[in-house]
Structure 1
């Protein structure tokens, strides 16, 4: 697979989408997924034709399980004791938990060195207080991740919006390394209404409020929902989840937290 580099003269999310469309593992983090659920085909057990069976009255068991394999139309709120599931592929991002505030205007400087960057992320509920570095595309066209040798490091995709700016800023981090739990080990515990703080090099502090959380398989990923442009300032925090494969050293799923800017200062 050839490397895909975002064009230099397009919007941040237009630059991000080509690489982010690639499904696959991201080492310890991973940034893609899909539902493994599907409806089972009818089975002819010899008791009658399938056509006749289609018109038969459903059994109590069938009625009880009628919605078992139907994905929800919206991203769930999460919460204690709630099982995380993916939303329908065409579901939109979840609605903001609190009234949104206007995005922070983009800096006027054209110098890359002078542009502000996110420096630290704090999530009080799960005791995260971690530095933020920059990640970009790998030579294989996949989104990079922080070094496994720094389990407390998080990564901001440098072609996504600056947290606090218009659109969805992307921050990822490992759930674990071969040495044990990593920075986002407890990310799946977040729920609608929880707070995420992102600090920037220009002294501004942004508070995002979680609006929803889902767990989805890496074999398909809700690209538009996660990376699509938005009118507000939003945040996506992503890590791995599901079953760990010791052979490939990767997880089957991703945990995706959606949040919207609800306060800013500085």
Structure 2
């Protein structure tokens, strides 16, 4: 579905998520609350409370950067929607939110979380749905994905990791559990995320997130 030009010009925001105690079981693998609350914490957040920030707010950032010790994702390919994005490894911005490239045609892998090939947890990849510099991005089309569609993530050591879509959900930004989005436990999976829903001119943000949940191929 095409996005209005006014949205493309106005939206320099990508992805806003907020913590809630419920509403996530329908899209993610539910974990015990204690595990979810430990998964990722934001230096600038003391509670992981609800917000409408323009980018996802992880719940904890480790002191060591795991991206420096392993191959990192460099590209995500989703044939069904014609998406082929280079990826950069990013952490959090000065506000403690997940950092994203300004371009809607470049994605970010959350470098403090799991990487492709890890035996547990969610690999988080996201990008702007659109941007003022280059218009609508490929991830604007993830709502078209179907169960079983393949997503491939390539890494800096030349390997490719496959994932199969299990579901795609549209979630209000006040209803997405970031403890689950950035989880480090549970089965290996990919969370491909962007913005969706209506663009709220009063806040400068989209009202929803779109999350494609994909299970890792078995070795």
Q: Tell me, yes or no, whether TM beats 0.5.
A: yes
Structure 1 equivalent of residue 114 of structure 2 = 161
* Equivalent residues of 2:193, 2:209 under 8 A apart: yes
TM, length-normalised to structure 2 = 0.69
Gaps of 5+ in 2: 1-10, 31-64
User: What is the alpha-carbon distance in structure 2 between the residues aligned to residue 158 and residue 116 of structure 1?
Assistant: 11
* Equivalent residues of 1:94, 1:212 under 8 A apart: no
* Equivalent residues of 2:148, 2:164 under 8 A apart: yes
User: How many angstroms does 1:189 deviate by?
Assistant: 0.8
Aligned pair partner of 1:93 in 28, 32, 35 = 28
* Equivalent residues of 1:31, 1:218 under 8 A apart: yes
User: How many angstroms does 1:206 deviate by?
Assistant: 0.3
User: What is the alpha-carbon distance in structure 1 between the residues aligned to residue 126 and residue 146 of structure 2?
Assistant: 17
User: What is the alpha-carbon distance in structure 2 between the residues aligned to residue 92 and residue 182 of structure 1?
Assistant: 23
Instruction: Specify the SS of the correspondent of 2:203.
Output: coil
Equivalence map 1:142-157=2 (5 Å) = 142-147=97-102, 150-157=103-110
* Equivalent residues of 1:214, 1:255 under 8 A apart: yes
Q: Is 1:137 the counterpart of 2:122 in the alignment?
A: no
CA RMSD of aligned residues (A): 2.7
Instruction: Specify the SS of the correspondent of 1:143.
Output: coil
Equivalence map 1:54-69=2 (5 Å) = none
User: What is the alpha-carbon distance in structure 2 between the residues aligned to residue 176 and residue 195 of structure 1?
Assistant: 23
User: How many angstroms does 1:245 deviate by?
Assistant: 2.2
Aligned pair partner of 2:191 in 236, 243, 247 = 236
Structure 1 equivalent of residue 207 of structure 2 = 252
Query: Compared with structure 1, are the counterparts of its residues 92 and 218 closer, same or farther at alpha carbon in structure 2 (3 Å cutoff)?
Result: closer
Instruction: Specify the SS of the correspondent of 2:217.
Output: strand
Aligned pair partner of 1:174 in 116, 119, 128 = 128
Instruction: Specify the SS of the correspondent of 1:146.
Output: coil
Query: Compared with structure 1, are the counterparts of its residues 113 and 91 closer, same or farther at alpha carbon in structure 2 (3 Å cutoff)?
Result: closer
Gaps of 5+ in 1: 1-25, 36-86, 96-109
User: How many angstroms does 1:90 deviate by?
Assistant: 4.4
Say which one has the larger Rg.
1
Equivalence map 1:190-229=2 (5 Å) = 190-229=145-184
* Equivalent residues of 1:34, 1:216 under 8 A apart: no
* Equivalent residues of 1:94, 1:258 under 8 A apart: no
User: How many angstroms does 1:92 deviate by?
Assistant: 6.4
TM, length-normalised to structure 1 = 0.58
1:96-135 C-alpha deviation (Å, 9 max, x unpaired): xxxxxxxxxxxxxx99645211011100000011100022
* Equivalent residues of 1:91, 1:225 under 8 A apart: no
